[in-house]
Chain A
Amino acid sequence: MSEAFEPKILAFLCNWCAYAGADLAGVSRLQYPPAIRVVRVMCSGRVDPLFVVKGLKNGFDSVFVSG
């Protein structure tokens, strides 16, 4: 793995907390690496283990579930 490796992360964010957290990060202009691709869900409980597998299979390096 080269040093320049930048992972592509699939992020499942709960609408009520983590997604709101990402909004707050935006409003607060907090800078973070441009690695995540967000899928909004109504609750992290919606995240089927299958979604995680699909993510990894479809080109994501890791999956982040936050809620």
Chain B
Amino acid sequence: MDKCTACGLCVEKCPTVVVDKFNEGLGKRKAIYKLYPQAIPSGYAIDAENCRFLGHGKKCQICAKLCPAGAIDYEQKDEMLNLEVGSVIVAAGFKAFDPSGFETYAYASHPNVVDSMQFERLLSAGGPTAGHLERPSDLAVSEEIAKAEKRLKKLGRELKQLEKKHSKSTDEVVEQFKAGAEGEDYERWASMAERLAASESKLADLKEKEAGARPPAKIAWLQCVGSRDLNKCDNAYCSGVCCMYAIKEAVIAKEHSKDPLDTAIFYMDMRTHGKEFDDYYNRAQQGGVRFVRCRVHTITPVPDSDNLHICYVTDDGKLEKEEFDMVVLSVGLEAPASAAELADKLGFDLNQYKFAQTGSFAPVSTSCAGIYACGALQGPKDIPFSVMEASAAAGAAASRLAGARHSLVKEKVFPEERDVSAEALRIGVFVCNCGVNIGAVVRVPEVAEYAKTLPNVVYVQENLFSCSQDAIEQLIQVIKEQNLNRVVVASCSPRTHEPLFQETLRNSGLNKYLFEQVNIRDQCSWVHSNNPDAATVKAKDLVRMAVARGSLIEPLPVPSAPVTPSALVLGGGVAGMVSALNLGQQGFKVHLVEEKERLGGQALKLNKTWRGENISDFVSKLIDDVNGNENIDVHLNAKVKEASGFVGNFKTSISSNGGGDVLEVEHGAAILATGAHSIKPDEYLYGKNERVFRWHEIDKALETDLVRNASSAVFIQCVGSRQPDRTYCSKICCTFSVQKAVELKELNPDMDVYILYRDMRTYGEREDLYREARARGVIFVRYDLENKPVVKETDGGSLEVTVMDHVLGRPLTLKPDFITLATAIYTRGIEELGRMFKVSISKDNFFLEAHMKLRPVDFATDGVFVCGMAHYPKPIEESIAQALAAAARAANILSQKTVEVEPIVSVVDQEMCIGCGLCEICCPFGAIRLVKIEGTGYRAENISALCKGCGSCAAACPQKAIDMNHFRDSQIFASIQAGGAAA
């Protein structure tokens, strides 16, 4: 794998074609293959089972013969490694549900019924159709054609041989054979001719069919296949991700389709409960994706076509039959077989659905101490939450291993940097062949010869592989021997190889910024392979540009700043406390700031989790642990007054006791865990009738006679959520109301309990609770936004709720003893913090992370992290996981002695600056600001640690007072000038 340059020659010549499992069986690959185009490491592997040589013992070894890098080693075997570790994190993922057993869905028998994983591949640019929407039945026709053509070619060849052997034409022989003549090979000859004719007519049929093939115009998605189903499978839980991915697939399919595409999603409840997911759902609806609330029983193939029929019942009870070109089954997530195996070997428990068992208060800890689980292995979940849990598991493991930190670290030492400032320019140019990847198209010797003629170039060399171990060693030698002070490598992409060459420069005693790379593979040989002349000219031009620029590049010091090994955690709720405690246990000093007079936050108002775990016991223990941890300073009745600084070096003033005491703390990282609140609605008689509660108030009221003796209770969902003024879903309310409904039924099975809802979003294993509620007789009445329930107070002072029943289609009047409102969750006062810590806030007024999926606890501003409900409403177990994740991410910084500051940043010439402030407006990172300079007025100042090097400020500066290190105006001008000049 170290030698492989990913040229792909082996794949081209490998004779064995097998079904591509990565493409869910929809495409083919060779026996030597890369799992997918972007796989890392980027190299090819042999599938030993299918390899002619390894798997079938045949002679072949063509890959080894062809490989220009000598990277094929048939002797490689799986190795057994013994590692001593302090903890284990299991992240074995999930297995997509296999719907083959659902006979009524015709998945196994009909090519145009696919599962969602297959559909993903059909949409993927790296998939079997290169992202063009095609039906599998049409793909199969193309495959048949290829086979038939191969067969025809073979028959044709054999007939030709016979014709040559006997010097007779086939027509002649067939005629003679039919007339009863006999001769050598006649019978075989005639039968072959017959087969040829049959194959030709079959091919013509297939071609006709192919010509008639059209991309699908109507696609249906069926939700909950292998989820929320105890009937056809054992997966009673909701997989939690399928609603969202089905919408995404429908939206993308519509975008991909040249002709209008009709998409329909058949669902039970639309569970788009994640951050800004409902907005996506709304946009999909506006974009024309149809949503049909019905669980479909059967998919019937339409006779004499490749289409499918779906029967469903509309909201008003009418039976409809619709024809689709293709049906996608939104399959659920299951525990992989490896889960049981791992659990058995490592000794941790699985839950009833064979996912790793974890608890709400330690959401990544398995039953075995020191073993942590994250991702879908411990229950179905989406990417953001899996990533969050991954960091959480790392954080949990780190607190256990704090004492051993850095004990296995080996530090790399580089030779001292040579000062080149007084030296005359000595540029070395290395032109790479990349095996045949460059050399077969671009005339490398010509480019190398040309490079010698360029100014300041003192040394030129051709390499077979510039990145190979030996070439790297040699590069170090050449730099030293030739006393080079600038290095240009003309090879592949700096995006993959610049770090390697920069490290080589450092190893030879040069500053790493004295390196310049030209991409003559991806930009020349690979994309102009049919035009070697033009590719060679272009390569020369690019080398000339690089040398011109290379003459002007300067060594840049990589400054580092010491890290203050302490953290500031804002918010003393569960999320803030968990973060603080984890960091404290990892040995870092923590300042925990809470604006109220006590720790605990919203959790103080809650009794039990949906799994029934006691929240108040957990919270009081957590408070004790936080107070008892010597690394944690708790600041109550305190607020942040001002914050400044950058990653590793923040300075924040905390004012406490109404602003009386101000304390300035230094910290290397900050975690914002300021939580959220529930709205006080002005509808449904809240605040006007004392028997109308907000959702958490019911917990207190459970002890009162009003509730204990009630004969009827009503819950109203989505109060203030999922409506035009607050479009997001508050996520926790469905589970909470269902949980409380079950508790009421436990208290008094005869109580009539109604939940008025819009979509029941009891995602994941919370679905069990929903099922239990229905089993206990809780009545669920669905309403829509246009027909909200109406709550009235009758003359006698009792409550009356009227709601349109979705089954009966008639208004239903209820007379509950009390009403509980599932009110929306919102944040307040976070704008000020956002400004102080230079972090963004979403349109729904929650903190906005750096990347919704891949960096769910980081902000775009380094060193600042988010967790808990200030990020988005979430249940306690998710808040805790996110808090552990934020702590882990913060500890990444705090455990370093210094932070390296990237030197590709803006430089301000304050003499030339006129203080117009355009740069400050342009900078997306808050990395440049105006400062007042006595006597001259305002001048721009760069904050290097925040600068990401984009250069917007330099482009915007009307005075040319700002330049970018390593991308200076002069350096770019040199490239432009050299590029424009004729060779």
Q: In the bound complex, do residue B954 and residue A42 qualify as a contact, i.e. CB atoms below 8 Å apart?
A: no
**Closest B residue by C-beta to A32:** B527
Q: How far is the CB of A17 from chain B (nearest CB, A)?
A: 11
For A37, the chain B residues whose CB sits under 8 A away are: 538, 541-542, 545, 979
Is the Cβ of B980 less than 8 Å from the Cβ of A55? yes
Q: Which of B587-595, B624-632, B788-796, B965-973 contacts A (4 or more CB under 8 A)?
A: B965-973
Interface residues of A in 12-66 (CB under 8 A from B): 15, 19-20, 22-23, 25-32, 34, 36-43, 45-51, 54-55, 57-60
Q: Does any Cβ of A come within 8 Å of B981's Cβ?
A: yes
Bound CA span A58–B548, Å: 14
What is the CA–CA distance of A40 and B975 in the complex, to the nearest angstrom?
10
- Interface-facing stretch out of B518-526, B696-704, B838-846: B518-526
Contacts of A19 in B (CB 8 A): 493, 495
Q: Which of B530, B967, B976 contacts A31 (CB 8 A)?
A: B530
Q: If the complex has contacts A32-B527, A39-B545, are A46 and B952 also in contact, measured as CB distance less than 8 A?
A: yes
- CA gap between A55 and B954 in the complex, in Å: 18
Q: Which residues of B contact A39 (CB under 8 A)?
A: 545, 972, 975-976, 979
B residues 541-558 in Cβ contact with A at 8 Å: 541-542, 545
User: A48 touches which one: B537, B545, B954 (CB < 8 A)?
Assistant: B954
- Is B977 a contact of A54 with CB atoms below 8 Å? yes
Please give the distance in Å from A11's CB to the nearest CB on chain B: 9
Tell me the minimal C-beta distance from A26 to chain B in angstroms.
3
Task: Decide yes or no whether B191 CB sits under 8 A from chain A.
Answer: no
Query: In the complex, are the beta carbons of A22 and B955 less than 8 A apart?
Result: no
From A15, A31, A55, A59, B495 is in contact (CB under 8 Å) with: A15
- Return the chain B residue nearest A63 by Cβ: B976
> B982 contacts the other chain (Cβ, under 8 Å)?
yes
A28 vs B969: C-alpha distance when bound (angstroms): 33
Contact (Cβ within 8 A) B969 A48: yes
CB distance from A43 to the nearest CB of B (A): 3
Contacts of A32 in B (CB 8 A): 527-528
Contact A43/B950 with A23-B493, A38-B523 known, Cβ cut-off 8 Å: yes
Set of chain B residues within 8 Å of A60, measured between Cβ atoms: 976, 979-980
- The answer to whether B527 touches A42 (Cβ under 8 A) is no
What CA separation (Å) do A46 and B973 show in the bound complex? 13
Q: Is the CB of B542 within 8 A of A46?
A: no
Tell whether B951 is near chain A: CB-to-CB under 8 Å: yes
User: What is the minimal beta-carbon distance from B483 to any residue of chain A, in angstroms?
Assistant: 28
Closest Cβ of chain A: how far from B855's Cβ, in Å? 15
Determine which of B527, B531, B534 lies in contact with A26 in the assembled complex, contact meaning CB atoms within 8 Å. B527
In the complex the two chains form, is B522's CB within 8 Å of A27's CB?
A: yes
- A42 vs chain B, min Cβ distance (A): 5
Contact B522 A46 (CB under 8 A): no
> A30: which B residues are within 8 A, CB to CB?
527
Asked, given contacts A34-B537, A55-B980, whether A42 binds B951 with beta carbons under 8 Å apart, the answer is yes
Among the listed B522, B524, B955, B980, which residue makes an inter-chain contact with A58, where contact means beta carbons less than 8 Å apart?
B980
Residues in A whose Cβ lies below 8 Å from that of B521: 26
Asked whether B531 lies within 8 Å of A34 as measured between CB atoms, the reply is yes
Taking CB as reference atom, which chain A residue is nearest B951?
Answer: A46
CB contact list, B491-506 vs A, under 8 A = 493-496
Q: Which residues of B contact A25 (CB under 8 A)?
A: 522, 527
CB-CB under 8 A from B955, the residues of chain A are: 45-49
Inter-chain contact A27/B541, CB cutoff 8 Å: no
- Is the Cβ of A23 less than 8 Å from the Cβ of B976? no
Does the CB pair B545–A27 fall under 8 Å?
no
User: Closest A-chain residue to B37, C-beta based?
Assistant: A27
> Are B976 and A10 neighbours in the complex by a CB distance under 8 Å?
yes
Taking a contact as CB atoms under 8 Å apart, the answer to whether B495 and A20 are in contact is yes
Bound Cα distance from A57 to B495, whole angstroms: 30
Bound together, the chains give a CA A58 to CA B534 distance in angstroms of 20
Residues of A within 8 A of B494 (CB): 40
B335 contacts A by Cβ under 8 Å: no
- CB neighbours of A48 from chain B (8 A): 954-955, 969
Q: Name A47's closest neighbour in chain B (CB-CB).
A: B955
Nearest A residue to B541 via CB reads A37
| Cross-chain contact A45 with B951 (CB below 8 angstroms) | yes
Cα A43 to Cα B527 in complex, Å, equals 24
A54, B967: Cα distance in complex, Å: 16
Per-residue CB proximity of B941-968 to A under 8 Å, as 1/0?
0000000111110110000000010010
Residue of A nearest to B955 (CB): A48
Q: Which B residues touch A38, using CB under 8 A?
A: 519, 523, 542
Residues of A that sit less than 8 Å from B by CB: 8, 10, 15, 19-20, 22-23, 25-32, 34, 36-43, 45-51, 54-55, 57-60
8 residue pairs, one from A and one from B, having the closest CB atoms: A26-B522, A46-B951, A58-B980, A59-B980, A43-B950, A45-B952, A34-B534, A26-B526
Q: List 30 A-B contacts (CB under 8 A).
A: A8-B980, A19-B495, A26-B522, A26-B526, A27-B37, A31-B527, A31-B528, A32-B528, A34-B534, A34-B537, A36-B523, A37-B538, A37-B545, A38-B523, A39-B545, A39-B972, A39-B975, A42-B967, A43-B948, A43-B949, A43-B951, A45-B922, A46-B951, A46-B954, A48-B954, A51-B972, A54-B973, A55-B976, A57-B980, A60-B976
The chain B residues found within 8 Å of chain A, CB to CB, are 37, 493-496, 519, 521-524, 526-531, 534-535, 537-538, 541-542, 545, 904, 922, 948-952, 954-955, 964, 967, 969, 972-973, 975-977, 979-982
